[in-house]
A and B are shown apart, each in its own frame.
Chain A
Amino acid sequence: MPPVSEPVKAPVPTIEKDTRSKDQFAPTYYVVCWNDPVNLMVYVTHVFMKIFGWERQKAEKHMMEVHEKGKSVLVRENAEKAEFYVHQLQGYKLQATMEPAE
């Protein structure tokens, strides 16, 4: 009787568990504020500080970007948070939208 060799066990591939949260796969959005001629610059700065809790310097940087370039990307967030920020900004009457991030 020929010797029966031990069956060769195929190596089990090690699949590392994906530790990324579900949110990391969800689409993200840019919250964009658009320029208009009617909102006062000081008001726009005030609203950014109020909503995002930014220091004046950061809020003014974004306000100037809106003023000079026509728009500023304020934050990148998941859909729910982006929508929340747009509601807040629009509640203050700023022209804000959420745009799908690439």
Chain B
Amino acid sequence: MKLVKQDSRGCQYQLSSQEAKSLRLLVDQFPVAEQLPVKISKSDPEALEREKLLNESLADHREKLKQQSAALVEPGKFKTSGKHQVFRISQEKREVMLQILNDIRVESWRALGEPEDLENCAVNLPQDKFKYYYFMYQAGYFQYHFLNVEGQAGEN
């Protein structure tokens, strides 16, 4: 997958047929795991009400992402060009795509038990968890390429 064009309307990427298929399948499956509750503070004991609001807001946000996910990768978004697929996306929709991909990546990681070592966490993974490992890596792969517009790379 590579960026072939960028202008004020958005970005155009060239993908192999396999990449295009994988991206569609991945985004179509969003959300891939249950959203686990998050903390709003590590030190404020009076933050319970705020925490409740945060988790409600995140659930709403996820629902909005879900409503937009199918349209992002509908077949009409991909055009065949020789052996490749060309995918065009606006800057605004790219933000939505990045959030969906990162939700898939982070929630898959949580479903795996939040391993510190991502490289070796697949060793001895139960069969029913392997899909999360796959989702986590697939999402990271596409995030990297969508963000490579800005010429950066790496993992936190």
Q: How far is the CA of A70 from the CA of B121 in the complex (A)?
A: 21
Residue among B107, B109, B144, B156 having the largest count of chain A Cβ atoms under 10 Å: B156
Candidates B43, B57, B105, B144; contact of A38 at CB < 8 Å: B105
Interface of B is mostly: helix
Task: State the Cβ distance, A76 to closest chain B Cβ, in Å.
Answer: 14
Residue ID in chain A nearest B148 by CB atoms: A42
Candidates B41, B95, B105, B109; contact of A97 at CB < 8 Å: B41
Tell me whether B5 is interfacial, beta carbon within 8 Å. no
Known A-B contacts A63-B156, A98-B41, A100-B43; A40 and B50 likewise in contact (beta carbons under 8 Å): no
Residue ID in chain A nearest B109 by CB atoms: A38
Which residues of the partner chain B approach A83 to less than 8 Å between Cβ atoms? Answer: 40, 50, 53-54
CB < 8 Å A-B pair total: 98
Residue ID in chain A nearest B110 by CB atoms: A38
Tell me whether A50 is interfacial, beta carbon within 8 Å. yes
| CB 8 Å contact bits of B38-49 with A (1 = contact, 0 = none) | 111111100100
Contact B61 A41 (CB under 8 A): no
| CB 8 Å contact bits of A16-50 with B (1 = contact, 0 = none) | 00000000000000001001111111111110001
A-B contact pairs, 17 of them (CB 8 A): A38-B109, A38-B136, A39-B105, A42-B152, A43-B98, A45-B152, A83-B40, A83-B53, A87-B54, A87-B58, A90-B38, A91-B58, A91-B61, A92-B102, A93-B99, A97-B39, A98-B41
Residues of A within 8 A of B (CB): 32, 35-46, 50, 56, 63, 66-67, 83, 86-87, 90-93, 95, 97-100
